[in-house]
Chain A
Amino acid sequence: GQQLNQSPQSMFIQEGEDVSMNCTSSSIFNTWLWYKQDPGEGPVLLIALYKAGELTSNGRLTAQFGITRKDSFLNISASIPSDVGIYFCAGQSGGTSYGKLTFGQGTILTVHP
């Protein structure tokens, strides 16, 4: 089956630093999604990418859909304490696989004030 490798598994940074995380896949995806999960909550969508090469920003967050359609990255600039949480990438194939999200293992982000 499809697999997503997300790295790093965890990050410990100081407030104000920039953060970068990425996902790579053995298969092609039509859509890449980035979610954030706070403790005790469900994942919340941060950014959705629908086209190879697409670069999309949402405030301090920037994500890109890789040209090969097998990878994506998420950058967070000028981190703040409320950025703490688990970040997941997810890929979605089209056709008969529509709706089936394949998730990465998650990146646990800790921000020290």
Chain B
Amino acid sequence: NAGVTQTPKFQVLKTGQSMTLQCAQDMNHEYMSWYRQDPGMGLRLIHYSVGAGITDQGEVPNGYNVSRSTTEDFPLRLLSAAPSQTSVYFCASSYVLGGSTDTQYFGPGTRLTVL
């Protein structure tokens, strides 16, 4: 198993550009999520999904869109990049057990700079 993979590893954008961060997992996990990591602030949840066709907002969803057309993939779209979105983005996945989620596994991250 490759686990959770993310592409690209690094990306530089200009303000106003759009792009999609890719995330894929091969563990048949129902739950997938996106976090951003900023210095001194830990990781903050952007969006999450509990299964194909189901998504919901996390703590900091503004400026980001997600969709979940398959169990394996959970792309994160930046519609119009802003310097405030400069961050490291992590995707995570896990099984759903009853009313809770199991251990979340994180991808290696995408380092995004918006100029």
A residues within 8 Å of B by Cβ? 1, 4, 6, 9, 30-31, 33, 35, 40-45, 48, 88, 90, 92, 94-95, 98-106
Is A103's CB under 8 angstroms from B100's CB?
A: no
Please list 8 pairs of residues, one from A and one from B, whose beta carbons are closer than 8 Å in the complex, sorted by A's number. Answer: A33-B103, A42-B4, A42-B92, A90-B43, A95-B99, A101-B104, A103-B42, A105-B42
Partner pick for B106 among A9, A42, A94, A102, CB 8 A cutoff:
A42
Partner pick for A103 among B44, B105, B107, B108, CB 8 A cutoff:
B44
Number of interface residues of B (CB under 8 A): 28
Query: Does B25 make an interface contact (CB < 8 A)?
Result: no
Q: State whether A41 and B108 are in contact (beta carbons under 8 Å apart), knowing that A4-B42, A99-B96, A101-B45 are contacts in the complex.
A: yes
A sample of 9 more A-B contacts (CB under 8 A), given A90-B43, A102-B45, is A31-B100, A33-B103, A44-B106, A94-B99, A98-B101, A101-B104, A103-B42, A104-B42, A105-B40
